[in-house]
Structure 1
């Protein structure tokens, strides 16, 4: 019944005159061009362009996609400054969205697009797309970042099972080391995976309310909860032979390399802490099947501390939100389309993509592992958006960002006093947030 209602709403969203107008030769946006900018390139771009073509076929609009890659924000800022922004941008950082809202460049989600979001997304994900209580973003793609991937044969050889608590993670890691394999690969050359380590441990240790306050810089980074989180990270990172190549090796390891270090032809370690998107990289290598030889477990809890409960009950999420920069009717129709289960299904069925659209039929997911990872984003009692993505980009969201750089420095010397690292983070955050 819910999917039938969704289909009926979709007809109204795309065609003001009704479904017959969409199906007729005189489609409502024939001859109009709408531009979408995003970070996706390669295979992701090809998949996304299938979504855009479907919108064009339904409405008559011509959709042009402009890829910005890792420099999306730089490209978008230049376009906004020149007075020629794209109609829609798929933005992966909530802090960047807030900046464009503050400048007046981003347009609120209104009309049929807003009704589509209210119909198909949970209040939690509506909140993630809101700034100052007003809706600006439609989370077309989501990410589950509370995941630790492991090689099943390495666990079997060591006689260990997926750990449930952080203490068990350390014990499991030691047993793996004793069996002759490094426990963990850490892609320290890319700063963002280190922020995911911090965020997962912090959410477990400090709880959701302090997490929210820290993300808004209402709580200083010198708070004891931050210091203790850094202490937990440093203790693991400095444990002998836990990290493949040690700290020096981790700092030379990229994200792509890290997947091969666990699931490649010559694996050197047994585990990798990173999001659902690791599954796509595993599939590219073609050696281990996701859900069989390549498996995952939820980030271990800290013995229930901070109200997080058991593993999987507190999840760090990310995602790419569609944000409008023009208020043309065709833009509103495209935003409504991004909020539809039909658009999500086109991306989901090919794998490597999670949706939090409530009306997407889970059967569309190509495998049980991806289906479960997506389901957690909708059912976990506590879901919080990636903290570094919520922060101003100079602190948490880009190459050279302070949080990335300072955590890389901590990885290089994990025996550093955590209070010193926390003080450095606070100094950088004060500048980025404009705090006194």
Structure 2
């Protein structure tokens, strides 16, 4: 450590020195007492300013100490957060009370308690899906959550949410899910299984569709069994079931602006072909192409719709393959390869979207369409038969690479 001294006389190193002389050279004798000398001439320890080196060392010590303290604090915080996560300390595992606000919560068909719980947590209706499952198990008593829309609240207790979702299950019902594009016989299978009503009762009703307000030219209930989710009373009759489905079909047609019964029948027939031939993204374009084929100036196909789906419906099967003989059979009233115009009636249950496309088809120049990839649903349109043939070859190549998919 370096010290600053008061200015002393320079030492003469060439002269012989006595030890006492050496002391006197550095500390000459003054008349004042030594104590006065140090008190008067040496700066006090309090007043002396530390050297720059000492200041740097102090700063370094301060910085090191600060880093150590901060590191220690960080470790403590990290450990605390880890323990909080591990032990659940401070986490909200359940809300208290009935909740606040209002939210519409949808339960899809087939959704179980686990999926429902996760959706409830994501929408902040309950605090924890796990806690909801625990609450559901304790109050369900064998009941299940029915599909549909529920008016719930945000931040409900798990028990309150479970009870609200099970409220509809208190009144027992027959639940039936009818998919779009199903044929009449497929719908009857679902209705009989869901309601316990013998299938024969539905078949008997289909023999006289006019009793449900369906036009006389309709050979069956086909096209009027509206797809959707149904909850029928336990004592429901087959007639009531069919009437409800027919009423829903008519409501969808009226919503699309079609009120005349004869026009409703025509639109349903077109919509059922659109439903069977295309994916939803292509409904409007396929409907436009069908309308072009039905037009009086159609010289490309001369009034023939040429739909595989209509032919196979008349044959009583579902298939992508038709023989030349089957396409040429005029006795099949659903054969749109051999018979001009629309088939005698619908070939399945069209959705509201397909009905809308039939009412408002896209204005397109196409006469042909083919789905070239059954997995992706990619459909290609064309104006001429030559262009269509190239797309058919593309479809056939896809079928060759996906054996069994195009049967």
TM-score by length of 2: 0.22
**Greater per-residue strand proportion:** 1
Larger Rg: 2
TM-score by length of 1: 0.21
Q: Tell me: higher relative CO, structure 1 or 2? Use CA pairs within 8 A at least 6 residues apart.
A: 1
